[in-house]
Amino acid sequence: MNQLDQITSAMGLEQGCFYDMYGVEGFIESAPHWRRLEPFIYRCAELDKLDIIQKVITHVTDDHSYIDELFEVAEDLYNKGMKQAAIILYECVSECEKYQHSERLAMCQYRIFLISMGSDQKENIRIISKFEPFIERLDYDYQLDAIKDLANAYWGLHEWDKMKDLSQELERRADLAMKQTKKRVYKSQYPFFVYKAYANLLFSNYYDYTKNYEKALKYTDIYEEFIENQAKVYEDYEVHHKFREWAKLNKCLYKVMMGKKEVIPEYIKCIEHREEEILHAMVKILQSANRYQYNIDELLIRFKAQIDDKFSDERSRGRYTLRSWYYRRVVLFYELAFYYSNKREFELGAVSLLVSLELSVFVKDDVLISKCVNLYGQLKEYLSNQVHEKYKIIIDNIYIKASL
């Protein structure tokens, strides 16, 4: 590979321009050798030449010669952040794995699940359903992380009952793990107490969804107190700080959702310098304002830049899954439409409603599309012809995509 790169450089050509030819001659038309194949995969991954990796690996795995080695390279690429290259190897290894109950197959499916989750709701459901049966086949040390990640995925899809069931399983397994006296190195991402605390955080989110804010506060107190007690045993200050911050934010949030408008300044003070929390906070404040009929015009002006940027930088989503992040943007504009409509500012409401509908189509969420259509039906007599025309264009596009 080094010689090929030097030749390419001396000729003044783009790096990797001969990789396709080299892949065919070196690994497809002749017998592949691992000492040449391994650096070739790494170099293609570095240059993002994924189509070449796919072509070569599909041929190489025909005789199952290098499955062990390919899995190890996939893990290394994954850990180095080259995940799109890694997923090609994981998929090939999965297809070649003859033992359907093997830990390696389960690990491949787990990695594919983590890499593949995106903004498309229907695709995410397919990815989740494909991975879920493999959790029990994973190495026990990875199961806590897998259950946590799957619960987060259902959180992002707003499948609350499934999220709650997984949270209960996460807490049960964390309790069992914490009782183990055998000392050894575990492969889980966090100390066991973190999973128990996180399970209770998920419980609080469940009760937020069901509008049982007293219970949501109860479970917030549980994980906050639990983390404080663990702080005396473990010196993982970063984890403890995160949970304390989440508890502080969520306590303000649940009080706001109970209609306690006076808590909003404290809530805003907590989130104003945390980009990833502003969107979530504005969604919740709008929902509370719509439910209890109070004015938040000042806040809408203050955070206008973040609200107006409907397809804002995904890096601002922080700990939230991509699906959950997009969902919040849909709901934000839906609640804005309601808020302005309640104030009889129908044209402003219509602008927000069309954005919400557009985003609902983008994430392919039929429930959200239906909600937007229903709200439009309630407001249409107050809207201008221009709004009706824009609405028709969006709806027509839905039917066109559905017919393809």
Kindly give the confidence (pLDDT) of every residue in the chain, 404 residues in length, as a single tens digit, with 9 standing for 90 and above: 888 888 888 888 888 888 899 888 888 888 888 889 999 999 999 999 999 999 999 888 776 778 999 999 999 999 999 999 999 999 999 998 877 778 999 999 999 999 999 878 889 999 999 999 999 999 888 999 999 999 999 998 889 999 999 999 999 999 998 887 566 566 889 989 999 999 999 999 999 999 999 999 999 999 999 998 887 777 667 888 899 999 999 999 999 999 999 999 999 999 988 887 888 899 999 999 999 999 999 999 999 988 886 555 444 444 455 566 677 889 999 999 999 999 999 999 999 999 999 988 888 888 889 999 999 999 999 999 999 999 999 998 887 666 55
Q: Which pLDDT score, from 0 to 100, does residue 315 have?
A: 43
> For residue 49, which amino acid is it?
K
| Residue 165 and residue 186 in contact, taking contact as beta carbons nearer than 8 Å | no
Q: Which pLDDT score, from 0 to 100, does residue 16 have?
A: 85
Closest C-alpha among 171, 236, 241 to residue 202: 171
Q: Which pLDDT score, from 0 to 100, does residue 56 have?
A: 92
Q: How many C-beta atoms surround the C-beta of residue 10 within 10 A?
A: 8
Sign, Cα dihedral of 45, 106, 122, 323: negative
Q: Which pLDDT score, from 0 to 100, does residue 404 have?
A: 53
Closest C-alpha among 96, 39, 38 to residue 63: 96
Q: Alpha-carbon distance 61 to 178, whole Å? A: 41
Structure tokens at 55: 């072509």
Q: Which pLDDT score, from 0 to 100, does residue 135 have?
A: 94
Question: What kind of architecture, by CATH, is found in domain 139-258?
Answer: Alpha Horseshoe (1.25)
